[in-house]
Every structure is written in C-alpha cells, then in structure tokens.
Amino acid sequence: DAGITQSPRHKVTETGTPVTLRCHQTENHRYMYWYRQDPGHGLRLIHYSYGVKDTDKGEVSDGYSVSRSKTEDFLLTLESATSSQTSVYFCAIRGTGSGEQYFGPGTRLTVT
C-alpha cells in the first residue's frame, strides 16, 4: 500500500462544466503522475509533477491542467469537460526502486 488516495471515486458531470480530481499521498514522494485508461489504449500519461509547483505535460495533456501546491496533493482539472474525457483516471507515485510506480484506486468520470 503506497498510501495513495483519490477523490472522488466516481463522478458524473455535464459537458462544459469544470471538474477537479484530487490525488493525495502520505509518503512524501517527489514524483506524481496522472494517467487515463481507455479501452484499447492501456494507460496514457496526462501530466506529471517532479516537485511542488513543478509540472510537465504527458502525451494526452490537451484539455487538462494540473497543480501541485504541496507535496502530498496533485490536482487534475478539466476546465470544460467534454464527452471524450469520459474515462478512468489514475494517479501514481514514483517508487525508489526499479522504475516502478504505484497507483491509486482510480476515479471513474462520466461526462454526459
């Protein structure tokens, strides 16, 4: 258990509304990541953070922004949700061993 929680676990929202997903970790890891999982695509990186206020884009960052104001929290924001952002979102932290990351339980987001 890497001490990662995600909130909310499920959310249904309407097209055009803003949505913020939260990832919280308790073990002071420097690196945090947001992925989305869609059928046929595996997991794809949205954004990642390498420290407080230090973030960078992943391969599917369009339509998403992130913020990290303290080590334990990494927020993912959909400024104006679209149906194509219906997905399962996973947060992860970087381990200290052999390249591994540890994942949270996920947030299922449905945009109607």
Partner 1 sequence: DQQVKQNSPSLSVQEGRISILNCDYTNSMFDYFLWYKKYPAEGPTFLISISSIKDKNEDGRFTVFLNKSAKHLSLHIVPSQPGDSAVYFCAASDGNTGKLIFGQGTTLQVKP
Considering only 11-19, 60-68, 73-81, 90-98, which stretch makes contact with partner 1 by CB under 8 A?
90-98
Tell me if 60 sits within 8 A of 44, measured CB to CB: yes
φ/ψ bin of 42: left (φ > 0), alpha (ψ from -120 to 50), beta (otherwise):
left
Binding flag, residue 83, partner 1 (CB under 8 A):
no
Tell me if 40 sits within 8 A of 16, measured CB to CB: no
Taking the complex as a whole, the smallest distance from the CB of residue 81 to partner 1 amounts, in Å, to 22
Binding flag, residue 34, partner 1 (CB under 8 A):
no
Binding flag, residue 64, partner 1 (CB under 8 A):
no
Residues that bind partner 1 (CB under 8 A): 4, 31, 33, 35, 40-45, 48, 50, 56, 58-59, 90, 92, 94-95, 97-106
